[in-house]
Amino acid sequence: MKTTNATQNWGYQNPSFWMALLIALMIIMVGLKFFFIPEQSATDFGISFDSSRDIPFGYIKGIRDIFSGIVLLPLLYFRMKRAVAWVLAMVIIVPVTDFILVWKVSGIQNWTHMLIHDLTVLYIIFTCYLLFGKKK
């Protein structure tokens, strides 16, 4: 059994690496925004808070998003292409459920916010397609 991570030919020269890094950094930024300015972030997300008692939910979302982005960073650093692909494949559930939440709370009239979540899903799916595509 191999106990060390073999260096792969995948990394900085591959567009899929930068696409995955962008996902990680953007979701960390969204999480930090939710953690530090939760009320504005909730409005930008597509679901405004009803009262200041809702603010802790912004912190929860912020921490969730920060973790979702940070978990990718060591995998990218060590150029673990398959691991990045699998984590991203599982992370798709986050923007999918975000879309559903915005739809359930705000309805179809909030289509711009729902579109942002949809485009995020499509971007992650395309990145996964590239990552799973070639076995280098």
DSSP 49-89: -SSGGGHHHHHHHHHHHHHHHHTHHHHHHTT-HHHHHHHHH
Average pLDDT for 73-94? 97
> What's the pLDDT at 5?
52
**Residues in CB range of 46: below 8 A, 6 or more apart:** 102, 105, 106, 110, 113, 114, 116, 117
Provide the 10 A C-beta neighbour count for residue 92: 15
Average pLDDT for 32-40? 97
pLDDT grade for 86, boundaries at 50, 70 and 90: very high
- pLDDT above 70 as % of the chain: 92
- pLDDT above 90 as % of the chain: 85
Provide the 10 A C-beta neighbour count for residue 31: 22
> What's the pLDDT at 43?
92
> Among 2-6, 9-13, 20-24, where is mean pLDDT lowest?
2-6
